[in-house]
Structure 1
Amino acid sequence: MKNSRKQSYLMSVLMICVMTITSCKVTSQEPAKKDIVIAKNAKWSDKMALTLMKRHPESYMLDDAKKPKWDYVHALVLHSIEELYKKNPDPRYKAYVRGYVDNLVQADGSINTYEFDKFNIDLVLPGRLLFDVYAYSKEEKYLKALQLIRKQLSEQPRTQSGGFWHKQIYPNQMWLDGLYMGEPFYAEYTAKFENGKSFDDIAKQFEIIQSKATDPKTGLLYHGWDESKQMPWANKETGNSPNFWSRSLGWYVMALVDVLDYMPKDHPKRKELIKYLNNSSEALLKFQDKSGLWYQVTDKGGEKGNYLEASGSAMFAYAFAKGANKGYLPAKFKKAANKAFDGLTTVLIKKVDEDGGITLTNCCQVAGLGGTPYRDGSYEYYVNERKKDNDPKATGPFILAALELNR
């Protein structure tokens, strides 16, 4: 009798322990979803960040990813959340960014899923997340990971004129996207670890694309430039792709304002970069729609199939606001940025979920040149590419713009 009572008591204790452990596991796996409350009066930057964290409890799940991947789209959103943390030091923001980095950076400084030998400049961008993590942790693995990404830039194939190829599989080509993918990391690295020795090379990347890809008529820059002029999409005289894509122009002006954070005030190339920013911004201002937004194909507003696109509009809002705040651009660009942000929040955020979550619509999911299936850079190509609500290429710049505008 005593034995059976004792066994029964032990079984009860064991069951309580198992239940406690199980419940602890569930809680630790799902803190983000259950704990996140999105207040109606929260700033737009917090609303968007918390929406993404609620819908994607682990940061590697951004963009609906099923497993951790070293990717520029995650990096863009997480960089914006890093910047948000500086204004609103909610520990959940810091943990969300750190979770992504720690899922991928190994003890020896190698990076899971990162493929060095593909020389894909997109894969340099996530390196930006390593600077802050290394600064506050001082763990050597993050420094080694930073050095690995820097090594890619040292060995990145270049055009004869000295510009980074966009990828190994796209020889002799520079795309506007690549300026944002590579140069802000390069600028921060050379400022922090190389005593600024590479600023001339960074400025050269902008010089090349500015001189080769600018349209003399509109002042806008074409999406891509092929130095060899061999690609079917390339103009046989200039090497440029045939159209102006707003997001690619957004990458370009964002690259300029972010690189200028690190370029010393007395550097001889600094004024040149500020001039490029002014030239591009003035050209873009001419194509801002009355809604405050920009069209997918920048200069063809109102043509069949064209639409007011979220990512390019958010990128311009951020670059204009930051440029004006820093004194690179005239004050009228802050006004244009606020108008763009009004368009994003009134035209493209059509509803708020019951939990306070927000959805940015009309985001072009992806666009490129060449490749398989072949992308010809035509007007029809750009306006028919897929759209995705809350695509990271729109939500990241949306957060950055909200921060610069204090919205």
Structure 2
Amino acid sequence: MSQSKSILVALFMISSSMILNGQENSAGRIPEYEIPYELPSVETIQEVLNRIRVYYESTSTQSIVDSQTGEKITDFTTFNPNAEPSPGFSSSYSYTHGVVLSAFEYIDDVTGDKSFFADNTKFFDFVVQNLPYFQKNSDNIHSEKIGNWGRILDFEALDDCGSIGAALIKTYLKSKNEDYLDLINRTAEHISNNQFRLDDGTLARHRPQYQSVWADDMYMSVPFLINMGVLTGDNKYFDDAVRQVLQMADRLYIPEEELFDHGWSVTSADYDPRFYWGRANGWVMMSMAEVLSILPEGYQGRDQILHLYRSMVRSLANLQDGSGFWYNLLDKNNTYTETSCTAMFTFAIAKGINEGWINHVYGPVALTGWNAIKTRVLENGAVDGTCEGTTFAHDNTYYYHRGKSIYATHGYGPVLYAGAEMIRLLQNEKIEIINTSFGSINSTFHFLLKSEWPEKK
């Protein structure tokens, strides 16, 4: 080979090496995440939770007002037929408010920050102090509902009392305000004896089809029943809670999908069309987490519930979007990513790891779920991206086009719960979290169970 050719070959080799090295160090090989792929801190989570609490407190004055003038009523000697609780989320006697208040009580346990639980006693004191005014004058009330207190004088559905009744029990167990007991007992009477049930005792509705079972109703009943068992020491409430989970699952759980259909009715029975709505499955996961937290190990039916829970976690991990969110229809990734179900699943999965119900390897699923959720909490503490109230429907078009906004209050409680459980997960002394390496082309989170590894010397 001539000298000139040798020089050309050498230059080519150097040039090729420079190109390859350039490719090796190219930023294009480093993943670009839509939502930061990072380990949150306890402090940043607490900041989000406090922001939501402040927003919640701002939504209502928690007073009795004249619905026509908006003026606060201070004279209760004579009944004002226009009287109602002040508008706003933090005054409502609703199932979505119940989730928030249950979450506040849980945050009190997790963080010791008393400002959250103070909102529980403030609200329930407001209710029991003013409810007699409406009870004594019920004949003069011209509507079946008292503003945002709904059907508080005469419960008609599980939505009216179950979720918020569970929060009331939890608040009573800490505050011991015996003025709460009448409302607790009225709720127990409705759920145990007055609410429509199928012949086998499964809680149901005549809506929208005759004899319909909704996955949502697991949360509207089971947390109340299991906590009523704690309050009274009567296992009949535990037994009914277990029965509701398992008998609803008999009709709604689809083994091949490891998910719950939104609803079922006697009319369509085994050939019911299936829609895996995100929040319905979220209600189920939160309900099972509550039951598993309270039922003693070995209690009849607990292992069956644990199996359902574990199988759903496995399926949900696979269905999670790359952003960390889940979809409004879980199996259809051309529906929008939705906040409330993402928070519910994040809570339930983190809870399962913390309690030892599921394997710690699911940790990154919860972590990326939280990272997604926090992007939906606005600067003022409002929670955005939550699907509006949704009926048990029978067509994709309806589910695809559900609205979403900060005024769909179904997302607030689950986000609070998710944050509290993520704090527990970050502080879980049994687990070591291997963080990602910023700027790496191949780096992920690893959750390790410390007891499986030799002690480091």
TM tier relative to shorter chain: 0.7 to 0.9
* Pair 1:46 & 2:50 matched: yes
Specify every segment of 5 or more residues in structure 2 that has no aligned partner in the other structure, as ranges.
Answer: 1-42, 65-83, 136-145, 427-457
* Pair 1:316 & 2:355 matched: no
User: Match for 1:294: what amino acid?
Assistant: W
Q: Aligned residue pairs: how many?
A: 347
| Contact 1:63-1:392 at 8 Å conserved across structures | no
User: Match for 1:258: what amino acid?
Assistant: E
Question: 74, 90, 100: which one pairs with 2:97?
Answer: 74
| Contact 2:261-2:274 at 8 Å conserved across structures | yes
Match of residue 213 from structure 2: 174
Whole-Å separation in 2 of the counterparts to 1:329 and 1:159: 33
Specify every segment of 5 or more residues in structure 1 that has no aligned partner in the other structure, as ranges.
Answer: 1-38, 230-235, 370-375
Question: 167, 170, 184: which one pairs with 2:223?
Answer: 184
Q: Quickly say closer, same or farther: Cα 1:90–1:259, change in 2 above 3 A.
A: same
| Contact 2:344-2:414 at 8 Å conserved across structures | yes
How far off its partner does 1:329 sit? 1.4
Q: Quickly say closer, same or farther: Cα 1:67–1:300, change in 2 above 3 A.
A: closer
How far off its partner does 1:300 sit? 0.7
| Contact 1:321-1:334 at 8 Å conserved across structures | yes
Whole-Å separation in 2 of the counterparts to 1:240 and 1:362: 29
Whole-Å separation in 1 of the counterparts to 2:340 and 2:52: 14
The structure that is strand-richer by fraction is 2
TM-score (norm 1): 0.77
Q: Quickly say closer, same or farther: Cα 1:339–1:174, change in 2 above 3 A.
A: same
Whole-Å separation in 2 of the counterparts to 1:59 and 1:211: 44
User: Match for 2:302: what amino acid?
Assistant: R
Whole-Å separation in 2 of the counterparts to 1:385 and 1:206: 27
| Contact 2:229-2:238 at 8 Å conserved across structures | yes
Whole-Å separation in 2 of the counterparts to 1:250 and 1:126: 17
Match of residue 237 from structure 2: 198
Q: Deviations over 1:234-272 (max 9, x none)?
A: xx3526353110000000000000112221123121111
Q: Quickly say closer, same or farther: Cα 1:40–1:188, change in 2 above 3 A.
A: closer
Whole-Å separation in 2 of the counterparts to 1:275 and 1:119: 29
Match of residue 27 from structure 1: none
How do residues 7-406 of structure 1 correspond to structure 2 at under 5 angstroms? 42-56=46-60, 58=62, 65=88, 68-106=91-129, 113-155=151-193, 156-166=195-205, 171-226=210-265, 228-229=266-267, 236-238=268-270, 240-301=272-333, 303=334, 306-346=335-375, 348-349=376-377, 352=379, 357-369=380-392, 376-389=393-406, 391-406=408-423
TM-score (norm 2): 0.69
| Contact 1:124-1:185 at 8 Å conserved across structures | yes
SS of the aligned residue for 1:187 comes to helix
SS of the aligned residue for 1:328 comes to coil
User: Match for 1:94: what amino acid?
Assistant: F
Whole-Å separation in 2 of the counterparts to 1:81 and 1:67: 12
Whole-Å separation in 2 of the counterparts to 1:310 and 1:179: 20
How far off its partner does 1:153 sit? 1.5
Match of residue 17 from structure 1: none
How far off its partner does 1:169 sit? 7.5
Q: Which of 315-324 and 109-118 deviates more?
A: 109-118
Whole-Å separation in 2 of the counterparts to 1:364 and 1:64: 21
Percent sequence identity over matched residues?
23
Whole-Å separation in 2 of the counterparts to 1:237 and 1:174: 10
How far off its partner does 1:47 sit? 2.7
SS of the aligned residue for 2:417 comes to helix
Whole-Å separation in 1 of the counterparts to 2:339 and 2:103: 16
